[in-house]
């Protein structure tokens, strides 16, 4: 099988699993226990936190370990919004971009539905880039009763690979005194994650995109940013996220994040060359294929690991099934929306009609992807789309 769905999840790294193994077997102590086994677990947990913080150029105390990217996004959007409103009741607007992951969009919708907030999405252009003037206008607010509690713009989009100029958007947010959260789940190992350079107030990551098993992630929260915990219990993570700490997961996350940063330069060069080969092959080999998201050949800022297309006239889910039958594993967009009958909100936000958006297929590359894999995927895609259109 040729696996081109790394944006959904990557294979666990062997060095990650080896580092985790003792904390899953002989060293199974609870990091909150006051005996030697618990103290060893606590030391391992804090060592992992320090290593993760070093990669992000952050303080260890700013790292909140979570169960993954979804929890981190929820904690950022809801936790900051609710905490800020407690300090000033007029902060009642949340502003995600129109192409955020559902973990962010649904968090904003929950705040609007249950907690009296107003959710307003920031529009994007046809490549998925947030429009700065429209973003600024939403943060400015139109009356004193609609001050913005938090904004959220993902660093790199999971469906179409758009990379945002987060530092510029963070400057706009700072002008209006608004904390900006960024979902950097797809960016890890591909883009720099220096939180000082990004200028944001909070950042989410998920380990399973860079080589841990699912179940571990983090939220970095800049010191001084108010955050209301969403989980009640033992007051873990300095009172910001209750729940018994997954020491093994934290250790694995530290190893994976260090490796991803260490290998990033070579991985990006390798991935970008394969991405461009894939895009060129699909556009030349599949009549009517439409590249979605930025065009790197025209200077568009796109993830080195992402290529996504629409194939008007065929059903995207049918393409997936037929490609799997030919030994190629891809997706139709976000794995978290698999099975949905609705067209991708990302593609419709880019201005594509629903009937075109429903033909989407996403290819995402990994460390072990080869030229032969890409060429085989291009050939299989051309054969599948041609057959579905009734060709020979």
C-alpha of 213 from chain center: 16
Residue that has been written with the tokens 């959007």 in this structure: 77
Question: 2 has which bridge partners?
Answer: 328
Residue that has been written with the tokens 């999405």 in this structure: 121
Angle (nearest 5°) at CA 82 between 110 and 116: 50
The token pair at 8 is: 């959904």
Outline where 286-370 has alpha helix (H): 316-325, 345-349, 354-357
Determine contact, residues 250/44, Cβ cutoff 8 Å.
yes
- Residue partners of 391: CB distance under 8 A and separation at least 6: none
Kindly report the three-state secondary structure assignment for every residue of 152-214. Answer: ECCCECCCCCEECCHHHHHHHHHHCCCCEEEECCCCCCCCCCCHHHHCCCEEEEEHHHCCCCC
Residue that has been written with the tokens 């000082």 in this structure: 196
Put residue 172 in one of left, alpha, beta given phi > 0 → left and psi -120 to 50 → alpha.
alpha
- Residue partners of 54: CB distance under 8 A and separation at least 6: none
Determine contact, residues 306/293, Cβ cutoff 8 Å.
yes
Please state, in angstroms and rounded to a whole number, the distance separating the CA atoms of residues 5 and 103: 20
Determine contact, residues 349/284, Cβ cutoff 8 Å.
no
Residues designated as active site: 336
Kindly report the three-state secondary structure assignment for every residue of 90-114. Answer: CEEEEEEECCCCHHHHHHHHHHHHH
């Amino acid at each position: 099988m040729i696996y081109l769905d790394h944006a959904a999840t990557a294979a666990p790294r062997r060095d990650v699993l080896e580092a985790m193994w003792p904390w899953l077997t002989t060293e199974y102590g609870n990091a909150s226990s006051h005996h030697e086994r618990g103290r060893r677990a606590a030391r391992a947990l804090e060592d992992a936190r320090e290593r993760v913080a070093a990669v992000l150029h952050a303080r260890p105390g700013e790292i909140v370990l979570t169960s993954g990217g979804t929890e981190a996004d929820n904690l950022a959007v809801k936790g900051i919004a609710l905490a800020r409103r407690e300090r000033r009741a007029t902060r009642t607007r949340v502003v995600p971009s129109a192409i955020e992951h559902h973990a962010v969009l649904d968090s904003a919708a929950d705040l609007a539905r249950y907690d009296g907030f107003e959710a307003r999405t920031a529009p994007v252009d046809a490549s998925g880039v947030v429009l700065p003037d429209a973003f600024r206008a939403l943060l400015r607010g139109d009356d004193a009763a609609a001050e913005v509690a938090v904004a959220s713009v993902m660093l790199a989009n999971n469906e179409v690979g758009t990379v945002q100029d987060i530092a510029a958007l963070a400057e706009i947010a700072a002008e209006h005194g608004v904390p900006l959260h960024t979902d950097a789940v797809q960016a890890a190992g591909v883009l720099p994650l220096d939180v000082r350079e990004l200028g944001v107030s909070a950042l989410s990551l998920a380990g399973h995109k860079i080589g841990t098993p699912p179940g571990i992630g983090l939220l970095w929260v800049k010191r001084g940013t108010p955050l209301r915990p969403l989980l009640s219990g033992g007051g873990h993570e300095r009172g910001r996220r209750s729940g018994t700490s997954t020491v093994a997961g934290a250790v694995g996350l530290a190893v994976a994040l260090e490796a991803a940063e260490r290998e990033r330069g070579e991985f990006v060069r390798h991935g970008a060359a394969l991405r461009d080969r894939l895009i060129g092959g699909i556009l030349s080999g599949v009549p009517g294929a439409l590249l979605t998201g930025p065009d790197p050949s025209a200077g568009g800022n796109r993830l080195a690991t992402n290529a996504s297309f629409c194939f008007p006239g065929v059903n995207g889910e049918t393409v997936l099934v037929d490609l799997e039958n030919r030994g190629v594993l891809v997706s139709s967009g976000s794995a978290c929306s698999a099975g949905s009958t609705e067209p991708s909100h990302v593609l419709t936000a880019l201005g594509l009609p629903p009937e075109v958006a429903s033909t989407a297929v996403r290819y995402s590359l990994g460390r072990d992807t080869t030229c032969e894999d890409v060429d085989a995927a291009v050939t299989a895609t051309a054969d599948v789309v041609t057959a579905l259109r009734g060709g020979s």
